[in-house]
Structure 1
Amino acid sequence: MKISIITATYNSAKTLEACMDSVLQQSYKDIEYIIIDGNSKDDTLQVIKSKAEKHANIIYVSEPDKGIYDALNKGIAKATGDVVGFVHSDDFLADTTIVSQIAEAFKAEVVDGIFGNLHYVQFNDTDKIVRNWVSQPFYPKLLNRGWMPAHPTLFLKREVYQTYGHFNLEYKIAADYDFILRVFRQEHHTFKYLPLTITKMRVGGASNRSLKNLIQKTKEDFRAVTTNKISFPLSVVLQKNLSKIPQWFSK
């Protein structure tokens, strides 16, 4: 089973090496690693080229794009693996066995996607957990409670993207939530929860960088819920936001 992992970058030189190493040092070897750079102005491209010289499984491109979701869509279009996942440039896989465990889970039973837990960590001290996103096994009614899997931990079969399309670029922050609703509300699909930390994410992402972004994300969440015909959208968005509070105290 080939697994494609996509990293979108833009001026990510400070964190990219740790991100890439977390993928390249995986014990699982059948990994296609795709880097989509948005024409960075710092040393990002030099970091990528240096790694690509030593690892034949790296595919990369550097060109202007329309933001992170556009970059991820480009990566999906290039992916040839049976399964597709993402490791964002500020993030890294929790340990070297993560992809092996994901591959084994896909082989053990017929599922369309696998997800797990996420640790938000301090930017300069990644051993310090700031927020602990512990997920749970999926059942459809969870979508009406504002639930979603932690997107950086979600690995989907490539045909899911081929069936439901890519990220909608009309969303600037919540395109992942829109996509998850689009896929997870299809009752014929099955998803498995792995009760382990898959990804560690440095704090300061686009959705929580400022009050303005939080307001925009809430508006986009409401639009996603409405567009995907989830009942009682105001309640769903409220529950989605409230569900994050315990994550700050469970470390």
Structure 2
Amino acid sequence: MKVSIITVVYNGADHIRDCIESIVNQTHPDIEYIIVDGKSTDGTVEIVQSYGTKVARFVSEPDKGLYDAMNKGIRMATGEVIGLLNADDFYRHNRVIENMVATFERTGSDGVYGDMLYVDRDDTRKLKRYWRSGWYTDNAFKWGWMPGHLSFFAKRWMYEQYGLFRTDMKSAADYELLLRFIHKNKAKLAYMDEVTIVMRDGGVSNSSLFNRLRANRDDQLAWKHNDLKPYFFTIWLKPLRKLKQYVSKPPGWSDK
């Protein structure tokens, strides 16, 4: 099974080597690695080019933001399965893709997802959040559930049939796409009960009241755009479910 992995980057020279190494050292033999760069000026381009043919497709040009760049990479992808991994992040071990492919083949699913860790940006031994997605059940989105976006691998045909990221959804574009694929169009899912992605902390934060209200507004728009109706409490359950992520740890984790 051919897998396309897409990394979007802009001025990511500090960490992109970790990201690239975690992909080119995967044990799965058929990976198409695509990097979409937003015309970086900090040495990112030179780092990517140093990997030669290990990067199957590389484009460096201005874009209209994160999700526009992701869409650009998805359009270039030729793999049966598509995954996304941002430049600050990396796979937890070198069998993630192998295990994911085995899960697809065993279950006949349309999408496979796992768990994620958020770690300190400078010291990746320091855990910030543990996103254990858990098993999906019908109507789970109405109860505030969603899988970690970057842990989600989808068959390419879903993007072709159901569409790409909505670039007008801002930070809720990933939520809207997952809602559309999973809740609206009933994608058959399989859960990998393991941590697959390690993410450096420091992305768009919803910690302030203003950001949380704006995120809730965008989440509501995601339901509206798909002609769906959540429960009256759905939008507030989503951030509340995240509270546990700040106090729980994966089995065997140590900050030392």
Tell me if both proteins adopt one fold, taking TM over 0.5 as the criterion: yes
1:210, 1:48 → 2: CA distance? 35
CA 1:17–1:228 in 2, change beyond 3 Å: closer, same or farther?
A: same
Equivalent residues in 2 for 1:5-16, closer than 5 Å? 5-16=5-16
Indicate yes or no: 2:36 matched with 1:36.
Answer: yes
Indicate yes or no: 2:4 matched with 1:4.
Answer: yes
Deviation at residue 194 of structure 1 after TM alignment: 0.6
SS of match in other structure, 2:50: helix
Could you tell me whether the CA contact under 8 Å between 1:16 and 1:44 is conserved in 2? Answer: yes
- Say how many residue pairs are matched: 249
Deviation at residue 229 of structure 1 after TM alignment: 3.6
Equivalent residues in 2 for 1:157-168, closer than 5 Å? 157-168=155-166
Deviation at residue 127 of structure 1 after TM alignment: 1.7
1:174, 1:119 → 2: CA distance? 20
CA 1:92–1:168 in 2, change beyond 3 Å: closer, same or farther?
A: same
Equivalent residues in 2 for 1:107-126, closer than 5 Å? 107-126=105-124
Q: 1:129 aligns with which of 123, 127, 130?
A: 127
1:211, 1:200 → 2: CA distance? 27
Structure 1 portions without partners, runs of 5+: none
CA 1:155–1:42 in 2, change beyond 3 Å: closer, same or farther?
A: same
Structure 2 portions without partners, runs of 5+: 250-256
What amino acid sits opposite 2:216 in the alignment?
T
Could you tell me whether the CA contact under 8 Å between 2:184 and 2:226 is conserved in 1? Answer: no
**Aligned twin of 1:217:** 215
**Aligned twin of 1:105:** 103
1:180, 1:138 → 2: CA distance? 12
Could you tell me whether the CA contact under 8 Å between 1:132 and 1:250 is conserved in 2? Answer: yes
Deviation at residue 223 of structure 1 after TM alignment: 1.1
Q: Which moved more, 1:196-205 or 1:184-193?
A: 184-193
Question: For 1:25-79, what per-residue CA distance to the aligned partner results, in whole angstroms no more than 9, with x for missing partners?
Answer: 111120000000011121111111111x2x3443100000000100000000000
1:249, 1:66 → 2: CA distance? 36
1:212, 1:63 → 2: CA distance? 33
2:12, 2:239 → 1: CA distance? 28
What amino acid sits opposite 1:194 in the alignment?
M
Could you tell me whether the CA contact under 8 Å between 2:11 and 2:44 is conserved in 1? Answer: yes
Indicate yes or no: 2:27 matched with 1:27.
Answer: yes
1:131, 1:142 → 2: CA distance? 21
SS of match in other structure, 1:173: helix
What amino acid sits opposite 2:25 in the alignment?
Q
Instruction: Give the TM-score taking structure 2 as reference length.
Output: 0.93
Deviation at residue 234 of structure 1 after TM alignment: 4.4
Indicate yes or no: 2:83 matched with 1:61.
Answer: no
